[in-house]
Amino acid sequence: MASSEMVFDVPRPDPGAAMRVFCFPFAGGGSATYHGWLDQLHPQAELVTVQMPARGTRLADAPCDNMAELVDSLFAHIAPLLDKPYVFFGHSMGSKVAFELASRLHRDGLPLPLHFIASASPAPFLPRAEAPIHALPDVQFIARLASLNGTPQRILQSRELMALLMPAMRADFKLLANYVGHAGTVLPTTLTLCGGSHDDALEHDDMLAWRRVFAGAGELHIFDGGHFYLNEHGAALVALINRLIEAAVLAELPS
């Protein structure tokens, strides 16, 4: 069984931090996706990155292609990290995983994120618009990954790396293809929405529909770029997160 340190990576532990920011990766992504934020994130925030199975420090774990099983595994390890106020940030698939985990925390009466940031994702209860890609032949699957611009070319062009990573990537996309969210849960926390101005696969109304499952109406922030706008505009995104931390988290803490 994976340890908490493997499932939730704290790349720069800070016992004195006032709060934490949990970052959930997109399909095919891993914990290291957010390590570049370390020097930009608010000094009172400790970064916690979610490590998906079958990659990074969990390379020996079997891939997971089922949302319920994935959330169960995250839930089993998160409790020690809920001793401080925190924020959830998820990009694309990561937003849905974060929402399902927050919903599970809510059902079990555990502390919820003070703020939830959903990036480049339609609301979890909307049907998936894109055709499934997890069962495509290798050549077509890699070509589809390349068109999404989320996986570095050096990885896509490496037979060895793709042979190692493709099972986990396929599992992520199968998880998305089979996932059916629900609009019945309304989380009593505040929402912020982020997206790219040229994300052709995502309608603004589909992002705004997230408001149906959060008590705090969410503002929509649009950044220049496509589905992976955060690759080019990570600094601007972190600056927004830092402003939210100041306004929505630190301002609420006892002085």
CATH (one of 1.10.3720.10, 3.40.50.720, 1.10.10.10, 3.40.50.1820) for 4-128+182-252: 3.40.50.1820
CA 120 from chain centre, in angstroms, equals 10
Full 3-state SS string of the chain: CCCHHHHEECCCCCCCCCEEEEEECCCCCCHHHHHHHCCCCCCCEEEEEECCCCCHHHCCCCCCCCHHHHHHHHHHHHHHHCCCCEEEEEECHHHHHHHHHHHHHHHCCCCCCCEEEEECCCCCCCCCCCCCCCCCCHHHHHHHHHHHCCCCHHHHCCHHHHHHHHHHHHHHHHHHHHCCCCCCCCEEEEEEEEEECCCCCCCHHHHHHHHHHEEEEEEEEEECCCCCHHHHCHHHHHHHHHHHHHHHHHHHCCC
Known catalytic residue at 197: no
The pair of three-digit structure tokens given for residue 159, joined into one six-digit string? 């037979």
Q: How would you list the strands of the sheet with 19-24, edge to edge? A: 8-9, 45-50, 19-24, 86-91, 115-119, 187-196, 214-223
The domain spans of the chain are: 4-128+182-252
Determine the Cα–Cα distance for residues 110 and 53; give it in Å rounded to an integer. Answer: 24
At residue 248, the pLDDT reads 73
Determine the Cα–Cα distance for residues 166 and 6; give it in Å rounded to an integer. Answer: 20
The one catalytic residue among 31, 73, 92, 119: 92
The per-residue pLDDT string of the chain (255 residues; one tens digit each, 9 = 90 and over) reads: 455 568 999 999 999 999 999 999 998 888 888 999 999 999 999 999 999 988 888 888 899 999 999 999 999 999 999 999 999 999 999 999 999 999 999 999 999 999 999 999 999 999 876 767 776 777 787 888 777 777 878 888 888 888 878 889 899 989 999 998 888 889 999 999 999 999 988 999 999 999 999 998 779 999 999 999 999 999 999 999 999 999 877 777 776
